[in-house]
Amino acid sequence: MVLKNKCKNVAVSMWRKNMLVLSTSRSLNTLAPSFHDNRILKSPTLVSLDFPDVWTCSTANSNQPTPVPKRASEHTAKVIDGKQIAEDIISAVAVQVQRMKKTIGEVPGLGVILVGERKDSQIYVHNKMKACEEAGIKFSLTEFSDKCTDEEVCNAIMRFNSDPSFHGILVQLPLPQNLNEEKVLNVLKLEKDVDGFHPMNMGNLAMRGREPLFIPCTPKGCVELLIRSGVEIMGKKAVVIGRSNIVGLPVSLLLQRHHATVSIINELTSNPEEITREADILVSAVGVPNLVRGSWLKPGAVVVDVGTHPIEDTSCEQGYRLIGDVCYEEALRVASSITPVPGGVGPMTVAMLLYNTLESARRKYNFI
């Protein structure tokens, strides 16, 4: 029996090794430069990651306890600099925008619709406008009061839909409660849905063998941060806190496409800290300040903090400062790597939006 189990374990080990080589090979082939290759991101296409599931009866973990790495008292996690990575991506986008303009006389265009006067939404839109200016992307903003109707917003979207100079359209979410978000987003042309929330894009994200036209910007930015930081995703346990359509759901789908074993925690989950303590990769996206304490983390985990929450701070120029879902000071002593707030995921979301807009224009003009 012992010999039989050893043979099975060797077979499983070889299978996993072969699958890793196959997936890595596909990823490298996707990333390998060609004569016309102008890739900006490190993330491979999702279809290139797909391979057949091969199950054996011994793929389950043994009952032997897994040793937990101990963190030295002076340990400090590596801080993942999302701001710098985003700047590098936006600079690469700008190069391609200028090449497009010089070659065919066209530039990508982004139309944004902002409803209401939410301070955070206004800041996000301002950051997107500034980034578009830096990258040379045409930008147009249409604003409405929170008392506007669905029809007014839909009409604005349809104007962008019919304008060939705009290759991407973004409706800043969340919308006021009096508006029908589903109705509004369904008006968006699929080929201009650079935020990636169209049901077709979300469906293709969920299905193996399919490639969405656009992946939602924040989840895409999270995974790009992991890849550029050398974090292995395949075969790792990933826990996502939050299940929103904007971040939680798509980031869990994207991590699955990268072959992580994913668990999702919502507000009704019992003993969430027990689940998070098993995570090799933790993504939190609920907007609850300091929800995740150091005791929630597995030593050596990689932490991606998507949450943002303003707290009053008179020492800051704006009168407030931002904190995330994760208690940063505690996590620094436990995690191996962590994204800061601000300066982590936020800038990457903007960079991915610009990248998606460029890709949309490339498709339209068949510009390689």
Residues forming the active site: 128, 172, 195
DSSP string of 175-236, one letter each residue = PPTTS-HHHHHHTS-GGG-TT--SHHHHHHHHSTT---S---HHHHHHHHHHHHTT---TT-
Instruction: Tell me the C-alpha to C-alpha distance, in Å, between residue 286 and each of 33, 123, 214, 289, 304.
Output: 38, 19, 23, 9, 12
Q: Is 65 left (phi over 0), alpha (psi -120 to 50) or beta?
A: beta
Q: In whole angstroms, give the CA distance from residue 76 to residue 276.
A: 20
Rounded distance, CA 239 to CA 229, Å? 18
Residue 253 near residue 216 (C-beta atoms within 8 A)? no
Q: What does the alpha-carbon distance between residue 65 and residue 215 come to, in Å, rounded to a whole number?
A: 37
Question: Which pair of structure tokens corresponds to residue 93?
Answer: 């986008």
Tokens of 366: 């068949």
DSSP β-ladder status, 261-265 and 168-171: unpaired
- Among residues 249, 355, 343, the alpha carbon closest in space to that of 304 is found at 343
